[in-house]
């Protein structure tokens, strides 16, 4: 039976659709101007920073006196530790420099918060847990659960005395700082390898112009390469 022109065209377009860019593999990340970034909420460092904020908010309002300036200082430091990781991650596709700066601000804020908890213990002659004490090891065990949420710590934070809660916060902030330090090293390595946005834009634009100016070079190179390859028949022999 003879096909009419429309059916032939429809089949042609359908075939084209199967091989269109919508069904193709995603481009090589090295060919993208805006590099992909994961969800900041999956970062363990962010999760721990968020739990540190939740603990600090409750600690400051439960154990520090009303009107004490330390309340606002601790809560703001905890908030900065969390929010700057978030902002840095969201800025990452367009500015590696901004991501590095904000992540480093988060790290500095958490260090300030850590020192506030240590001050609280020191001036009140309360003990700071040794990192290898059974209490610290138990908190470290809780810290291995993923994803990290306040619910793992709620019972301790809301029923234990301030000395225990402060030490739990110290353990958790140390974990967060360690993870953010590793994140900063990775961001630095990524920047050295991939450069910043302007460098990527320039490189990708130059590669695009080169392909437009010499469209047959890649095809010729491919054919020349294949002409030197043995056939399947000769390989089977």
Spatial distance between the Cα atoms of 229 and 216, rounded to a whole number of angstroms: 20
CA-closest candidate to residue 52, choices 100, 110, 124: 110
Q: Say yes or no to pLDDT of 21 above 70.
A: no
Q: Give exposure, 82-97, as e/b (b: 16+ Cβ within 10 Å).
A: bbbbbbbbebbeeebe
pLDDT mean over 190-205: 65
Residue-level pLDDT at 2: 46
Mean pLDDT (the chain, rounded): 80
Which residue in 76, 69, 74 sits closest to 169, CA to CA?
74
pTM: 0.69
Q: What is the pLDDT of residues 38-86, one digit of tens each?
A: 578 999 999 999 999 999 999 999 999 888 999 999 999 999 999 999 9
Quick one: pLDDT at residue 51? Answer: 98
Report pLDDT for 155. 97
Q: How confident is the model at residue 197 (pLDDT cuts 50, 70, 90)?
A: low
Sequential DSSP letters for 187-234: HHHHHHHH--HHHHHHHHHHHHHHHHHSHHHHHHHHHHHHHTSPPHHH
Predicted local distance difference test score (pLDDT) of residue 57: 98
Residue 35 has pLDDT above 60, yes or no: no
* Residue of 40 and 8 predicted with greater confidence: 40
**What was the pLDDT predicted at 145?**
96
Domain locations in the chain? 36-192
Both tokens of residue 101?
């700066």
Q: Kindly state the tokens that stand for 8.
A: 């032939």
Share of the chain above pLDDT 90, in %: 55
Q: 183 is written with which tokens? A: 């994140």
Higher pLDDT, 143 or 192: 143
- pLDDT score for 142: 96
């Amino acid at each position: 039976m003879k096909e009419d022109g429309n059916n032939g065209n429809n089949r042609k377009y359908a075939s084209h659709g199967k091989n269109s860019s919508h069904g193709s593999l995603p481009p090589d990340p090295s060919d993208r101007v805006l590099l992909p970034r994961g969800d900041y909420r999956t970062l363990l460092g962010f999760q721990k920073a968020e739990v540190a904020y939740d603990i600090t908010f409750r600690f400051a309002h439960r154990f520090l006196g009303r009107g004490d300036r330390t309340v606002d200082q601790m809560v703001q430091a905890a908030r900065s530790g969390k929010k700057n990781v978030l902002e840095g991650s969201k800025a990452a596709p367009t500015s590696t420099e901004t991501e590095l700066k904000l992540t480093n601000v988060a790290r500095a804020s958490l260090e300030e918060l850590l020192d506030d908890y240590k001050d609280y213990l020191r001036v009140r002659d309360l003990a700071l847990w040794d990192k290898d004490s059974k209490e610290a090891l138990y908190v470290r065990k809780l810290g291995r659960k993923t994803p990290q949420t306040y619910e793992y710590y709620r019972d301790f934070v809301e029923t234990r005395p301030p000395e225990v809660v402060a030490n739990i916060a110290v353990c958790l902030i140390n974990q967060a700082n360690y993870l953010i330090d590793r994140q900063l090293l990775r961001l630095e390595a990524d920047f050295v390898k991939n450069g910043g946005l302007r460098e990527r834009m320039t490189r990708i634009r130059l590669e695009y112009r080169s392909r437009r100016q010499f469209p047959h070079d890649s095809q010729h190179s491919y054919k020349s390469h294949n002409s030197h390859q043995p056939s399947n028949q000769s390989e089977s022999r």
